[in-house]
Structure 1
């Protein structure tokens, strides 16, 4: 019986894992361009690669290495020698800064003592001046301490202040954040309290007078050139309930309420049974005398 032809079996080889990445495989297998490989082979054949062949070239290379080593050694030696000198100069500078700082602190303490002495003499001059209005003058000028009923107003920046922009009228240089209280806002608050009947006003423990200035320096609010830190606690001596009601109904009180509603400025006002305000740190005393040049003369 004829035998059946043998069955040929085809063996299927598993494909390489990187078969789908033929481009990357080609790059990895031929990382060096053929042109570069040929140039390198040609240089090796011509003897142009490797170490110098001639004695002169070798001597030049050796001289270059010796010179580089000499430069590095000299630089390291100079740095090591100069290190103590630099450390000494640095320590002398630190000592000088410490001495100057100590001297400045002493002068500042002396200035504060002299300022207190001047303020005390000014208050004494007001008291010794006599007259029925001496006490009232001392209160209104800020020359004496004041205590009595009044209003406590706490004003603070917004909890999450947002950056202003888009032509907002409240955005000015140094106050780009609309959620921050500005010097102009504080001016309106203080003026509103005065107009509502306050007899004495202080901000964060600093007494205000008729000559006090509220200004801005960058993002900080200054009162008589002294920076304030929020929250701003305003104390005003006067008829507590009446003062609070009149201020909140005034244009400045409504302005503060608008800041709270529109920009998140935080405010809290309450009537107090007894407040104590310190005297102003420095009061300028001015006196005036009637002119006698035109006494008894009529006007034409």
Structure 2
């Protein structure tokens, strides 16, 4: 009796039942879950492939435009650099001519040596002579300073980086130790020079410098070296080396060559015997 009851209850096998269900649901809602998941995945892959293909096509179309703009920018920089170099050569030639005329005029009064000394001290003329070479560089692996670290108060996020205040102390220490002329990375310092920071960059007379910072100081080499290293600023530099890994190297040189300053402009001072300008601007501060 159980066999007869089972045959009556299941007169159609499962295959016929599934076919009948598909006829009743032509939209596919009655498909097995696995098959529906595969169809959704396939549709997603097709859509992703279409998006990638479209993006690649747009990138290929934009690449020539970007390359052209980049080349135009490079060409413009090269032209401006060449123009600035030409102007600088003209300035150097005019400065040399003015210096020659000054020496010629002063030779009649016997004050030729005084004119040369003024040019050296003001930075208006190139100089050479014995002195010291001091190289200051960032630490190899600069660590980020923690909260309250005094070395990050001026905006520098790395305690192992050389800051503008560090270079100020180095330069002032060399002046106090007897340096007669100083240049940093080929940039001659004058009485109007300023060492400042712009973000993480160090500026000397508004010209950005990159490490390592090579400081050339003309003077009595051995005496200048020993006096600087024993001074408060020399000890400060030594502490930076010990505490933060800043790299330094100092050596005595027999002959250093320092260029003239690009511009030496007097804003307030006037030659003796002439009246000062009523609206003269204030003189800029020195190295600060």
Same-fold status (TM-score > 0.5): yes
Does 2:172 correspond to 1:196?
no
Structure 1: give runs of 5+ residues left out of the alignment: 1-39, 51-71, 294-300
Report the CA distance shift for 1:123/1:224 in structure 2 as closer, same or farther (over 3 A).
farther
Q: Tell me how far apart the structure 1 counterparts of residues 129 and 204 of structure 2 sit (CA, whole Å).
A: 23
The equivalent of 1:55 in structure 2 is none
SS in 2 for 1:133: helix
Query: How far apart are the structure 1 equivalents of 2:206 and 2:157?
Result: 22
Q: Could you tell me which of 148, 151, 163 is aligned with 1:170?
A: 151
Contact kept in structure 2, 1:164 and 1:177, CA below 8 Å: yes
The counterpart of 2:234, out of the listed 253, 258, 283, is 253
Residue number in structure 1 paired with 2:84: 108
- Residue from 125, 133, 136 that aligns with 1:155: 136
d(CA) in 2 for partners of 1:106 and 1:259?
Answer: 39
2:265 matches 1:284: yes
Q: Which has the larger radius of gyration?
A: 1
3-state SS of paired residue (2:166): helix
User: Residues 87, 210 of structure 1: CA spacing in aligned structure 2 closer, same or farther, 3 A cutoff?
Assistant: closer
- Report the CA distance between 1:291 and its aligned residue: 5.4
Deviation at 1:200, TM superposition (A): 0.6
CA distance in 2, matches of 1:88, 1:156: 40
Q: What CA distance in whole angstroms lies between the structure 2 residues aligned with 1:292 and 1:226?
A: 34
Q: In the TM superposition, what is the alpha-carbon distance from 1:128 to its structure 2 partner?
A: 4.2
Shift of 1:176: 1.0
Alignment CA distance shift 1:42-1:105 (3 Å):
farther
Q: Distance in 1 between matches of 2:23 and 2:223?
A: 107
For 1:142, the equivalent position in structure 2 comes to 123
> Residues of 2 paired with 1:214 and 1:92: CA distance?
38
The 1:276/1:157 distance shift into structure 2, 3 A limit, reads same
Q: Tell me the residue number matched to 1:60.
A: none
Given that 1:119 and 1:282 are in contact with CA atoms closer than 8 Å, whether structure 2 keeps it comes out as no
C-alpha separation in 1, matches of 2:196 and 2:226: 27
Partners of 1:99 and 1:115 lie apart in 2 by 24
Instruction: For structure 2, list consecutive stretches of 5 or more residues without a partner in the other structure.
Output: 1-17, 29-49, 277-288
Q: Is the 8 A contact 1:148 1:238 kept in 2?
A: yes
Q: 1:291 to 1:87 in 2, by over 3 A?
A: closer
1:234 aligns with 2:210: no
Q: 1:221 aligns with which of 184, 202, 216?
A: 202
1:117 paired with 2:86, answer no
Change (3 A) 1:93 1:243: closer
Question: What RMSD over aligned residues (CA atoms) do the two structures have, in Å?
Answer: 3.5
Comparing 276-285 with 135-144, greater Cα deviation is found at: 276-285
Q: Per-residue deviation at 1:279?
A: 1.8
The structural deviation recorded for 1:228 is: 1.8
Tell me the secondary structure at the aligned position of residue 257 of structure 2: strand
SS in 1 for 2:161: coil
Deviation at 1:288, TM superposition (A): 2.2
